Amino acid sequence: MIFKTKKGIELYYEVKGDLKSDKVIAFFNGVMASTNSWDLCVPIFEKAGFKIVCHDFKGQMKSAKPVPESGIYSFKEHAEEAKELFDFLGLKKVNIAGISYGGEVGMKFASLFPEYVQTLTIIDSISEFDEVCKNFVLSWKALCDIGDGETFFWVMAPAIYGPDFLKKERAMLLERGKGFKALDKSYYDGQKILYDTFVQDVYMTDILKNIKCPTLVVCGQNDILKPQKFSEIIYQNIPNCEFAVFPHSGHVPILEQPGILSSIMLGFIIKNL
């Protein structure tokens, strides 16, 4: 479904699960992903009677990709647009779970609109970066200019997936890489804006103290893109916070260990309802 913001930006969204439930979880995507990246986490929340809301940020796969005059979006804009979507759907209290870029939007949202947030789960995200992380992301811009989807996928894959997952799921990843061939130029144009947004706007360590809701910080032990040290910074600066490390997982435990992750998230949320 499509929701149009006050500024006329079309955002793709999905609502699943128990549509009448007052228990709501909203999943915020990683930068390269779309709503289907959460498919392995959704079932446990459906069984638990949650309403589930997913959407693509502007610049992502199924949403509009407006070109801003400044050259970048902002995490504040993403948060404000998510709030507009929640208001449109009549949501007053939401449990937010975000991975990577989505976790960074989640932190910004919780600091700006605390009255909406029941709990916050932050998965492999950062509130500041180092030169290694920065240059990983900037290198992806060059790949976008090449426009070869399969090459794009396999160059970024070692930074995204842990070594165990790369070995075990080789056949699945080969098919996933082939699927990237179907992506058109608009996908890469949106990605470049999102990468620049990340590099120029992601610093938010100084606002973490303003996040008052119960918060769970999760990271993969083998995440080389956004290593554990960045999750520890978030954990140390949010007052009401818990911390979990996933051994044998890289940057995307929602794909690498979805069952364990979903169980931990559900338990954390139910404990804090």
pTM: 0.98
At 70 the pLDDT is 95
Question: Mean pLDDT throughout 228-241?
Answer: 97
**Residue 177 carries which side chain, given as an amino acid letter?**
G
d(CA 110, CA 273): 16
What pLDDT band is residue 21 in, cutting at 50, 70 and 90?
A: very high
CA distance 173 to 154: 9
Task: List the one residue out of 129, 128, 88, 83 whose CA is nearest residue 110.
Answer: 83
DSSP per residue over 132-170, as a string? Answer: HHHHHHHHHHHHHHH--HHHHHHHHHHHHS-HHHHHHTH
Share of the chain above pLDDT 70, in %: 100
| Residue 95: band (very low, low, confident or very high) from pLDDT cuts 50, 70, 90 | very high
Output the pLDDT for position 157. Answer: 96
What is 2-130+202-271's CATH topology? Rossmann fold (3.40.50)
What is the distance between the alpha carbons of residues 24 and 17, in angstroms, rounded to a whole number? Answer: 9
Which pLDDT score, from 0 to 100, does residue 54 have?
Answer: 98
First to last CA, the chain: 28
Averaged pLDDT of the chain: 97
How far apart are the C-alpha atoms of 5 and 24, rounded to whole Å?
21
Q: Domain boundaries in the chain?
A: 2-130+202-271
- Dump pLDDT digits (tens) for 134-175: 999 999 999 999 999 999 999 999 999 999 999 999 999 999
